[in-house]
């Protein structure tokens, strides 16, 4: 029981970050039908900004704000400068451009900061609060849950309760009609990328201190887990991203705890297959899936 409780909290705190990152992937997929493989590299770039700002000012929160802001800017820039040109090309081209961006961003970061892992501090303690001798959630875990919860709630409000959110959804689902109705579709796409990139930056800020440290490749594995989460949940569903993220976090933790860390990648594959063979569009699929 104690073991189960420990592995559950461990899995949930990891899963919350996967959820946030999966949400970023889903946002872009919904807006542009592109799986943004560069999401991880872009998030790392934002966290490097945080690192530099924090190092210069000594304030974690200034760095935090700078990272989210640079995430916004980076997302907009990538959409305007690069992705705009492949949005109407075959979808695979966007995937390849994103992969090219990954290499480019990682190489630039590596050239500036070197290929060493850099420690990133946390604003609150990561030491778990002991309950009956078992170490459970830390203050940092609570911060992660709070931040991810706020983002999910904020996005839900944005998309369902505000005119801008409505316009963004309209642009994504019916670009031609929206354009005729006077919606600035191109602007909405840029905004979508910017928002997603900022959410990705936030996820990077939250997860990197809990792993090996800041490195150009620091988000590679997080991206793989989060992409798995987004697919499990259904790429069109923000709720699915959150549920998928938590599920992936829990499965990885249980498998490493009860079986062996060696088989965690196999566990992710089994989870994906189990979900997709029953529901080919993910757990929260809304659109009609292929019938065979």
Partner 1 sequence: MRSARSGLAIALCTTLLAAVTAGCSGDGGGGGSKAPVPGVTDSEIVIGTHMPMTGPASAGYSKIAPASKAYFDYVNANGGVYGRKITYKIMDDAYNPANTQNVVRQLVLQDKVFAVLNGLGTPTHTGVLDFLKTNKVPDLFVASGSLSWNQPDKYPDTFGFQPDYTVEGKILANYVKANMAGQKVCFLGQNDDFGRDSLAGVEKILGAGGLAAKDTYVVTNANVGPQIGKFAAAQCQVVILATVPGFTALSIGTAARLNFKPQFVVSNVGGDYSTVAGLLGAGKPLLEGTIGANYLPSVANAADPWTTLFTKVDKDYNGNAPMDGNVVYGMSVAYLFVQALLAAGKDLTREGLIAAVEKGGFTGPGLAPFRFSKADHSGYGGLRMVKTTGGVQDYFGPTYQTDDGDGAVTEYSGAAGTPPANGIPSA
Partner 2 sequence: MRVLPGNTLLRHLLIAAAGGAALWALTYQLELYRDYQLATAAAYLCATAGLTVLTGLNGQLSLGHGALMAVGAYTVALSQDKWGILSLSLALGVLAALAAGLVIGLAAARLRGPYLAGVTLAVAVAVPAVTTTWSSVFNSDQGLPVALDPPPGTLALEQWQAWLAVGCALGVLVLLANLTRSRFGRDFRAVRDDETAARLAGIDVARTQVLAFVVSAAGAGLGGGLLAVLTQSVSPGAYALSLSLYLLMAVVVGGLGSLAGAVWGALLLVFLPDLTHQLTVGLALSPGAAQRVEGNLPLAVFGLTLVIVMIAAPGGLQGLLRKLVPFRTITPLPKSEERPVSDAQRT
* Residues at the contact surface with partner 2, assessed by CB under 8 A: 29, 33, 35, 82, 85-86, 89-93, 95-97, 99-108, 110-112, 114-115, 224, 227-228, 230-232, 235, 262-266, 268-269, 272-273, 276-277, 280-282, 289-290, 292
CA distance 211 to 236: 29
CA distance 284 to 282: 6
Closest by CA position to 241, among listed 283, 287, 195: 283
> Does 14 participate in binding partner 1 (rule CB under 8 A)?
yes
Question: Residue 124 and residue 58: Cα distance in Å, rounded?
Answer: 15
Compute the least distance from the CB of residue 224 to partner 2, in Å. 6
Segment interacting with partner 1 (CB under 8 A) among 7-15, 60-68, 72-80, 197-205? 7-15
Return the beta strands (E) in 65-178 as ranges: 128-131, 134-138
* Shortest CB 258 distance to partner 1, Å: 8
Is residue 120 within 8 Å of residue 46, measured between CB atoms? Answer: no
> Using CB distances below 5 to 8 A depending on partner kind, what does residue 120 bind out of partner 2, partner 1, none?
partner 1
Instruction: Mark residues 159-178: x for contact with partner 1 by CB under 8 A, - for none.
Output: --------------------
Residues 6+ apart with CB under 8 A from 210: 13, 14, 17, 126, 140
Which residue from 25, 89, 48, 14 is spatially nearest to 218, judged by alpha carbons? 48
Q: What 8-state DSSP symbol labels residue 132? A: T
Measured from the CB of residue 161, what is the shortest distance to partner 1 in angstroms? 36
Minimum CB separation of residue 55 from partner 2 in Å reads 18
Positions touching partner 1 (CB under 8 A) are: 2-3, 6-7, 10, 14, 107, 110, 115-121, 126-128, 130, 135, 138, 210-213, 215, 217, 220-221, 252-253, 256-257, 260-262, 264-265
């Amino acid at each position: 029981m104690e073991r189960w409780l420990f592995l559950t909290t461990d899995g949930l705190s990891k899963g919350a970050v996967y959820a946030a990152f999966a949400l970023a992937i889903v946002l872009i997929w919904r807006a542009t039908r592109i799986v943004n493989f560069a999401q991880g590299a872009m998030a790392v770039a934002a966290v490097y900004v945080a690192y530099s700002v924090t190092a210069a000012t000594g304030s974690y929160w200034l760095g935090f704000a700078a990272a989210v802001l640079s995430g916004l800017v980076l997302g907009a820039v990538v959409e305007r400068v690069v992705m705009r040109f492949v949005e109407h090309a075959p979808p695979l081209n966007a995937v390849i451009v994103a992969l090219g961006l990954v290499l480019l961003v990682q190489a630039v970061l590596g050239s500036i900061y070197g290929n060493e892992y850099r420690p990133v501090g946390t604003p609150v303690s990561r030491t778990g609060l002991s309950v009956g001798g078992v170490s459970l959630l830390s203050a940092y875990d609570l911060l992660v849950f709070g931040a991810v919860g706020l983002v999910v709630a904020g996005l839900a409000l944005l998309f369902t309760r505000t005119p801008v959110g409505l316009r963004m959804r309209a642009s994504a689902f019916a670009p031609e009609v929206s354009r005729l109705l006077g919606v600035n579709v191109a602007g909405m796409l840029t905004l979508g990328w910017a928002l997603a990139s900022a959410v990705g930056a936030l996820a990077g800020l939250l997860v990197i201190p809990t792993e090996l440290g800041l490195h150009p490749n620091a988000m590679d594995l997080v991206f793989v887990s989060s992409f798995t989460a987004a697919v499990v949940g259904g790429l069109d569903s923000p709720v699915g991203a959150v549920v998928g993220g938590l599920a992936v976090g829990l499965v990885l933790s249980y498998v490493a705890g009860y079986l062996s860390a060696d088989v965690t990648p196999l566990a992710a594959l089994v989870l994906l297959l189990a979900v997709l063979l029953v529901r080919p569009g993910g757990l929260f699929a809304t659109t009609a899936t292929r019938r065979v």
